Amino acid sequence: MEKVKTVNKESQSPLSFLKNLLIARWRSLLLLLIGVYLPLQVFEILTVKLWEYQAGFPWDVPILLAVHSTANPQLDVLAITLAIVGLPWTAIPILGAIALILLLQKRWRSLAYLLTASLGSVIINRTAKELMHRVRPQLWQSIAPEYSFAFPSGHAMTSITLVAILLFLTWASSWRWLVLIFGSLYVIAIAWCRLYLGVHFPSDVLAGWMVALGWTVGVSLIIKPYITQIKTVDDERPEDETTLLPEERKLITEE
């Protein structure tokens, strides 16, 4: 019986193999397209256009002025509060607490994803800012001015990175819907406060969203933090996420 299976696999045509591969991996391929390629493509377009035309994009200023036209004392307080909540430094205690929990639970795969996604996001943001040197908007006197470079928005990247990490870590549970709903509201609120305070152009925020989304989703496809259990062939004993996947074990063996 084993010989028959072996013969069938060997006689499989390349076209049939490709078809079976696409059927088996269509979810990952779709996530790769929507979650990695398209966001990074948008970020690349924004970066190239900004590099060519330092004045920015024609839609940046009108959107900023439209947001600023709603200014009032109550919204001022809300915007400043959101700016503090959305600081990259504010995310550190949250991610640190989650990392400690994962460490105590010995969830190495999830911990590796959290550290890689968060640290990588910081490095990408700082590198892009230093390379692009885009100054912040100066359309009005901001009530919470910023003096570092603007592109891409650190607040936008931090919000997407934090929500993506929480979403992938809760993907196997019903909590993912709660994270998705409130996380989306959080991301939008942080973006609004950056525009309301006049410290970022809309293109800064969009670029931050795109590069952080592409990075966090791309890392998840490699580390697979959403895998919590891997069942053995005989389906008798489940192995926790500290166990290497079959393809990972095979790769290490070949090396």
The pLDDT tens digits for 27-57 are 777 778 888 889 989 999 898 888 877 667 8
pLDDT of residue 132: 86
Greater model confidence, 74 or 88 = 74
Average pLDDT over every residue of 184-200? 94
Name, in order, each residue with C-beta under 8 angstroms of 195's C-beta and a sequence gap of 6 or more: 63, 64, 67, 202, 205
Average pLDDT over every residue of 73-80? 92
Distance CA 104, CA 199 (A): 40
User: Does the structure show a pLDDT above 70 at 231?
Assistant: no
Contact 179, 124 (CB under 8 A): no
Tens digits of per-residue pLDDT, 131-164?
888 888 888 888 888 888 889 999 999 999 999 9
pLDDT of residue 4: 45
User: Does the structure show a pLDDT above 60 at 20?
Assistant: yes
pLDDT of residue 230: 46
Q: Is the pTM of the predicted complex or chain greater than 0.85?
A: no
